[in-house]
Amino acid sequence: MIEAISKNFFLAVSQSKPLNKAARKWGLRFGAAQVVAGDTVSSAINKVKELNNKGLCCTLDHLGEFVFSKEEATAATNYCIQTLHAIAEAKVESNLSVKMTQLGLDIDYDFCLNNMRRIVSTAKQYNNFVRIDMEDSARTQVTLDLLAELRKDYDNVGTVIQAYLYRSEQDVKDLKGIPLRLVKGAYKEPQQVAFQDKQAVDENYLTLIKTHLLNGTYTAIASHDHNIIQQVKEFVKKENIPNSQFEFQMLYGFRNELQQTLVQEGYKVRVYVPFGDDWFGYFMRRLAERPQNVAFAFKGFFGA
């Protein structure tokens, strides 16, 4: 009961525009610096170098969502392109992750699509890959529509599928051949569209993973759950699926020891590295996911 109240509280707070605005002035407070790799691309690149030296691949994400003008969306697009240039210049092992609402999805579909074409085209020049983050369920279909348009011209772009949505099993089947990042899901969704029970989400998550792997498609398994990870390891061994067909993914600042253990066992591990001053919504969703993260945040705040 308390866990549910805590989750709902942090998810609601994550969408507060006044708090998001204020957080930009606060800087990386309340423990956020432990899970956000600085507020500039140069600070993020330095973190990527450290992680690469430990045998970890990365994905950089310039935090931000729900822009309200084409000027803001164009600036975000330019920053994503700047990030791709920085990755290439530093010669680090990192992909790029982007949010469609940050690039103008809610303003104009074609405008957002053109912004994405600029980003994916730049990534293609560097032989790099762009991951489209999945946001709330109201934007799932339009995000997949946009992905389909991009895939007509580019093979270096994929997206994320969330296991708590009822529709996701069919989506995974429809997206055979497209690299997917599979997650449980981090937004508050109504029972009309999403599983509410953790066990049901976990079961569907494993179903999605197995389906995509058996389709022969590259699969990114984004989870800190050691039970899920163990079941995946047993499944790929049983089905003779090569390690080159999948990778484990975790968030920056979480389960560092497990990341290293998996690397030592010969698995590819990618760390999702968020950065930027628009960190509040991302951080609140991390607190909502697990009650343990709240203690983690207060420890970081009072230790600052």
Query: Which residues are tagged catalytic?
Result: 133, 181
Place of tokens 């997949």: 144
Q: Supply the DSSP string of the chain, one letter for each residue.
A: -HHHHHHHHHHHHHT-HHHHHHHHHH-S-TTGGGTS--SSHHHHHHHHHHHHTTT-EEEEEE------SHHHHHHHHHHHHHHHHHHHHHT--EEEEE-GGGGTTTT-HHHHHHHHHHHHHHHHHTT--EEE----GGGHHHHHHHHHHHHTT-SSEEEEEETTBTTHHHHHHHTTTS-EEEE---S---TTTB--SHHHHHHHHHHHHHHHHHTT--EEEE---HHHHHHHHHHHHHTT--GGGEEEEEETTS-HHHHHHHHHTT--EEEEEEESS--HHHHHHHHHH-THHHHHHHHHHHT-
Q: At what angle do helices 256-264 and 226-238 cross, to 10 degrees?
A: 20
One-letter amino acid at 190 equals P
299: left (phi over 0), alpha (psi -120 to 50) or beta: alpha
